[in-house]
Amino acid sequence: MKPAAFEYHAPRTVEEALSLLHEHQDEAKVLAGGQSLVPAMNFRLARPAVLVDIAHVPDLDRIEATDPGGVTIGARVRHLDLEHNTIAGPLGSLIASTGRWVGHYPIRVRGTFGGSLAHADPAAEWCALACALDAEVHCRSASSERTVGAGDFFEQMAFTTCLEPDELLVGVRLPRLSDSCGVGMAEFARRWGDFAIVLAVTAVERDGDSITGARIALGGVAGGPVRALNAEAVLNGGPATAETVAAAAAAAADEVDPTGDIHGSADYRRDLVRTMVTRALDQALA
Amino acid sequence: MTTGVRWTGRSLRRFEDPALVRGLGRFVADVADQHRGTLHAAFVRSPVPAGEIRSIEAPPGAPVLTAASFGGIRTMCARLDRPDFVALETPVLASDAVRHPGEPVALVVAGSRAEAEDLAEQVVVDIEATRPVLDAAAATDPAAPTVHAGLDMPMGNNVVLDARFATEGLDAAFEEADEIVALDIRAHRQNALPIEARGAVAAHDPATGRTTLTAANQMPHMLRTALADILDIGEAELRVVTPEVGGAFGQKMCVPREYVALVAAARLLGATIAWIEDRSENLLASWHSRDHSYRLRGAFDRRGMLLGLDADIVCNIGAYSNYPVTFGVEPLMAMAELPGPYRLSQYRVRSRAVTTNMCPIAPYRGVSRPVLTLAMERLMDTAARRLDLDPVEIRRANLVREFPYAMPTGLPVDPGSYVETLDAAVEALDLEGFRRRQQQAAAEGRYVGVGFSVFGERTGYGTPAFAARAMEITPGYETVQLEMNPSGDVTARIGASPHGQGLATALSQLLADELGVEPRHVSVVHGDTDTTPYGWGTFASRSMVIAGGAAKLAAERLAAQLREIAAHQLEASPEDIRLEDGSAVVAGTSVGVTLPEIARIAHHSSHLLPAPMEPGLSVSATYDPGGTFSNACHAAVVEVDPDTGHVHLERFVVIADAGLEVNPMIVEGQIHGGVTQGIANALYEELVTDDDGNLLTASLMDFLPPTACEVPQIEVTHLQTITDASITGAKGVGEGGAIGAPAAVLNAISDALSPLGIEVDEMPATPARVRELIRRAQPTTTGGRT
Ligand SMILES: Cc1cc2nc3c(=O)[nH]c(=O)nc-3n(C[C@H](O)[C@H](O)[C@H](O)COP(=O)(O)OP(=O)(O)OC[C@H]3O[C@@H](n4cnc5c(N)ncnc54)[C@H](O)[C@@H]3O)c2cc1C
């Protein structure tokens, strides 16, 4: 369990990082918190010839308020900083309650938000959150710059995004949630800190007792994070009642097409979708 | 120190810990780093479970060793001398066939482990894969592939042990029964998962021609004997050293092929070679454990009395045997000890070992007992529910109360506190209060439950007990050499090989009391074949009983000698001399001589010794007892989330009786660790392979030990039944935690889910399995709310 030989670079600026990526193309990998990449290298599942460590690149570690209520999260903001964020309103509390579920404390100390999105584990909490909120992902290469919506960023294949080999994810913008927006996060894993078998992130806007805009993202049920669009449709315009929640949860369980693994068969995951969606919606409507 | 103080029975802090907690412990990997110029080995392993090796190609000139490099090296084979046993031979490196995933095929050496792994990747092993057989039941089918082709299997395809026992009145007991309870118990595969995987450093010294193997292991003397036999050299050419060991649990008891290959390679190359096993290798191809199936029928009368027990036990022992205890240990222990502490006169059992293309099995903490206890305890709870009896009552009715008791197989059970531990557990739980709370919870749609597990743990058994298994290599005794140096300090050299249990501390306490010194003046030397007497090492909850007994006997001899010298000096009678507070004094007087003074005389003024005493203070004693049962009752309280199948452990109570507790804190530590492994067995850990035999749980992302987050506070209460089956009064306690916990947990889940009529008989009871049982019992879900 030792990595294959590699070259290591620690650039001091974004430009330097981008030019290294440009030079080495798919020979190179960005090293952020190392909490996914290093284990993969030790197992020799990943064998990059060149590592570009962004630990010393300035400015990527900031959480900045953008337009009122929205934020931009720098690529190497740590999970722990998000768990303890000071972002106001429902967005801040959704980020905090989602962050708690990412791995264990030592992993949250090192692992980064951008690393999680770039790694694109189908059961990653941050990927589901980005998907639920239609995050905008800022990507840069030596020669170009673009902003990609979460829906296009994640490919529906595990560990696959639209990032080009020479591109760096620099930051992610999350939109404002209104003060009355209800949020919820429910996850089931075998042990505390494990990757989810199934997780659900919800954000529900309401006008009195009727639901005006529901967002539900699921993890652990497909190649990437997915929106439960049918379930959202059941909720939108409906009354905020237990019956609506039950119908939405059933719709979510219906619309997913999970594959099984040793921690849970497809059937079990589908069954858990109903439970997790129910629980996340119960929180959002509480 | 006040006069007459006893050290035994005190929770003295462990002498071993200051070095360990400061990172000063020296483990195998540290030893590898100490030698300059150490080469590092990596093994090239079979990627398939079954196949024929066509060729092995290495880059030209690369240091790659295969079976051919070692010439006529012997296979490893330990035998049981019984007609229902088929011996399996293990080649040190596979040369013609591979029989399990990860089987070692070649060894490569390089300057570092990373380079060795690079090189290992370049070795091309051409294997023609053949159809594997992975499941024990499937393997006995005559049409299934034969794992050891060409071997005579008179008892059926792949059946390598088929042992039977029956009492005469079994059928009558079943005819008489009011209720017959049938169960299928399944315990899936596990890995003992020591936090330090295996590892060894073989250093060949061309000057002396000797090879020293520093290895993570539990049986240094046995390991040396095995190496010498397999390599066909004298034991004098070998030295085995056991440094600090980071957990073993049985996985470091049997002789690994890798260690043999390493010693052979070091001798061939005249080098120092280290192999530090990584976690994936360890999960894939160290030793696995459990993988037992029980088909059980119990005959009960209306009052819940167990009239007869009929069992069919199958153990999937994997592709090879182990050395020295053989695969026989699993099925034979299961059949001998299944009835446990329940009075039973009619018993029939068939117990088989089946070879498959899976990693071989070695004993793991408790060996067959966690599963046989699960089987009996599930039987008791299921019978209680069928007969509408309380689970506590059915146990009280059947538990042995009179001693000595003999199991139907003839196994003697010495005095214990089976009923008392159960009663104490009921009280500790406030069972009545719990039942009220359970009803309230049920009214809220919640599922909480309690489960008990009462068991005896056969411990500290010596040669006579092992001889009953007809082992070619029969373990049992322990020897302790004791000497007092001129400054009056005591050194105990032991053949037992503690690896984290704190035995040095506990033995010091015992010896301190016998010799009238403080424990800090006693040092214990272990884990080095050059400096310790031949012994069997540490396993089977034996060290405190057997090495402790030998230490006591040796101390009595040394004490007698000290008293005799003192009596001679003081012109008193030896019977009047007391050893206390570091002196030998004439009883009832203040006349005395200090132990250092006596020690000086013995070593430096031996002309003053009473004739015909020899100079020096050095004695030796051996102890070889028949065995003693410790016992315990475990109780678990759980809440099951019906929508996910998740089991939350609320409480875990242990009432343990290990006889005399030399150091209660150490006893408690053993229980905590054991219970945690039992919880792992019950709920979390499972080695899973796909249909092609690929291990799907090859890292700790997928093989899931519980962490501090999942394990509740373990509440331990101690009872102490002293019996003369052990001369110190101590009984073994190393395995009990792991033995009792699975049954308590599965019984608690079954109790919680009893409104749905669910009995959980398969472990680990993963959320997916539990949820599936709930779904089958209750097709309409509660809608995800709790
Ligand atoms: C035991 C354990 C448990 C865990 N449990 C969870 C869990 O429950 N939930 C969860 O979500 N995660 C979990 N993780 C993973 C953890 O969250 C990782 O931190 C995260 O997946 C990756 O972030 P990182 O900063 O460590 O990235 P790295 O490991 O450094 O990189 C991951 C991948 O992303 C690429 N990358 C990183 N940053 C960038 C960037 N800015 N631009 C382009 N590419 C980039 C890398 O090249 C690499 O391919 C766990 C990890 C461990 C070891």
pLDDT band at residue B71 using 50, 70 and 90 as cut-offs: confident
- How distant is the Cα of B190 from the closest Cα of chain A, in angstroms? 15
Using the Cβ of B672 and the Cβ atoms of chain A, whether some distance falls under 8 Å is answered with no
Does the bond joining B404 to the residue before it have cis omega, within 30 degrees of 0? yes
Which residue's CA lies nearest to atom 46 of ligand 1?
A: A30
In sequence order, the β-bridge partners of residue B258 are: none
pLDDT at residue B124 is higher than 50: yes
Percentage of chain A beyond pLDDT 70 is 100
- How distant is the Cα of B783 from the closest Cα of chain A, in angstroms? 7
Which residue's CA lies nearest to atom 51 of ligand 1?
A: A35
Percentage of chain A beyond pLDDT 90 is 96
Position B781 scores a pLDDT of 53
In sequence order, the β-bridge partners of residue B303 are: none
In ligand 1, the atom with minimum distance to the C-alpha of A193 is: 8
* Neighbour count for residue A243 (Cβ, 10 Å): 10
In ligand 1, the atom with minimum distance to the C-alpha of A170 is: 41
Does the bond joining B612 to the residue before it have cis omega, within 30 degrees of 0? yes
Ligand 1 proximity of A33 Cβ (cutoff 6 Å): yes
Which residue's CA lies nearest to atom 2 of ligand 1?
A: A103
How many Å from the N-terminal Cα to the C-terminal Cα in chain A?
48
> Which secondary structure element, helix H or strand E, spans residue B38, and what is its range?
none
The partner residue sitting opposite A275, judged by closest CB among B696, B704, B784, is B784
Cα distances (angstroms) measured from residue B32 to each of B39, B275, B770: 9, 8, 46
Using the Cβ of B663 and the Cβ atoms of chain A, whether some distance falls under 8 Å is answered with no
The DSSP string of chain A is --PPP-EEE--SSHHHHHHHHHHHGGGEEEESS-TTHHHHHHTTS---SEEEE-TT-TTTT-EEE-STT-EEEETT-BHHHHHT----HHHHHHHHHHHTTSS-HHHHHH-BHHHHHHHT-TT-HHHHHHHHTT-EEEEE-SS-EEEEEHHHHB-SSTT-BS--TT-EEEEEEE----TT-EEEEEEE-SSTTSPPSEEEEEEEEEETTEEEEEEEEEESSSSS-EE-HHHHHHHTTSBSSHHHHHHHHHHHHHH-----BTTB-HHHHHHHHHHHHHHHHHHHH-
- For each of the domains in chain B, give its residue range(s) and CATH number, in order of start: 28-130+194-248+252-285 (3.90.1170.50), 289-463+626-777 (3.30.365.10), 477-623 (3.30.365.10)
Q: Give the CA dihedral A256, A259, A263, A269, nearest 10 degrees.
A: 20
For chain B, positions 102-141, list CB contacts with chain A under 8 A: 112-114, 117-118, 121
- How distant is the Cα of A4 from the closest Cα of chain B, in angstroms? 7
Position A1 scores a pLDDT of 87
Residue B564 neighbours by CB under 8 Å, 6+ apart: B574, B610, B613
Position B1 scores a pLDDT of 36
Say yes or no for a CB contact (<8 Å) between A262 and B697. Answer: yes
Instruction: Determine the Cα–Cα distance for residues B55 and B43; give it in Å rounded to an integer.
Output: 16
Residue B232 neighbours by CB under 8 Å, 6+ apart: B74
Of A62, A52, A61, A50, whose CA–CA distance to A15 is shortest?
A52
Residue-wise pLDDT tens digits, B686-730: 999 999 999 999 999 999 999 999 999 999 999 999 999 999 999
* Cα-based angle B72, B73, B75 (whole degrees, multiple of 5): 120
pLDDT band at residue B559 using 50, 70 and 90 as cut-offs: very high
Instruction: Determine the Cα–Cα distance for residues A234 and B594; give it in Å rounded to an integer.
Output: 90
Nearest CA in chain B to A269: B768
Ligand 1 proximity of A98 Cβ (cutoff 6 Å): no
Burial class (CB in 10 A: 0-12, 13-18, 19+), B561: buried
Residue-wise pLDDT tens digits, A254-283: 999 999 999 999 999 999 999 999 999 999
Tokens of B152: 């005579």
Tokens of B325: 């205890």
Task: Give B279 Cα–ligand 1 centroid separation in angstroms.
Answer: 21
Position B4 scores a pLDDT of 58
Amino acid at B154: P
The partner residue sitting opposite A192, judged by closest CB among B112, B710, B781, is B710
Using the Cβ of B780 and the Cβ atoms of chain A, whether some distance falls under 8 Å is answered with no
Of A260, A283, A238, A271, whose CA–CA distance to B782 is shortest?
A271
* Chain A residues contacting B via beta carbons under 8 Å: 1-5, 43-44, 188, 190-195, 197, 246, 249, 261-265, 268, 271-272, 274-279, 282
Tokens of B406: 């003999």
pLDDT at residue B608 is higher than 80: yes
- For each of the domains in chain A, give its residue range(s) and CATH number, in order of start: 7-53 (3.30.43.10), 63-174 (3.30.465.10), 182-285 (3.30.390.50)
Using the Cβ of B697 and the Cβ atoms of chain A, whether some distance falls under 8 Å is answered with yes
> Which secondary structure element, helix H or strand E, spans residue B321, and what is its range?
none
Ligand 1 proximity of A125 Cβ (cutoff 6 Å): yes
The partner residue sitting opposite A190, judged by closest CB among B688, B767, B775, is B767
Using the Cβ of B6 and the Cβ atoms of chain A, whether some distance falls under 8 Å is answered with no
In ligand 1, the atom with minimum distance to the C-alpha of A38 is: 29
DSSP at B347: E
Ligand 1 proximity of A163 Cβ (cutoff 6 Å): yes
ipTM of the complex: 0.96
Say yes or no for a CB contact (<8 Å) between A249 and B784. Answer: yes
Residues of chain A with C-beta less than 8 angstroms from the C-beta of B707: 191-193
Using the Cβ of B688 and the Cβ atoms of chain A, whether some distance falls under 8 Å is answered with yes
The partner residue sitting opposite B644, judged by closest CB among A4, A44, A188, is A188
Report, as an integer, the average pLDDT of A83-94: 94
Does the bond joining B533 to the residue before it have cis omega, within 30 degrees of 0? no
C-alpha A227 chain-centroid distance = 12
In degrees and rounded to multiples of 5, residue B768 shows phi and psi of -65, -40
> Which secondary structure element, helix H or strand E, spans residue B220, and what is its range?
helix B220-231
Instruction: Determine the Cα–Cα distance for residues B363 and B361; give it in Å rounded to an integer.
Output: 7
pTM (2 decimals)? 0.96
Task: For residue B621, give the 3-state DSSP assignment.
Answer: strand
Tokens of A278: 């129910």
Residue-wise pLDDT tens digits, B307-334: 999 999 999 999 999 999 999 999 999 9
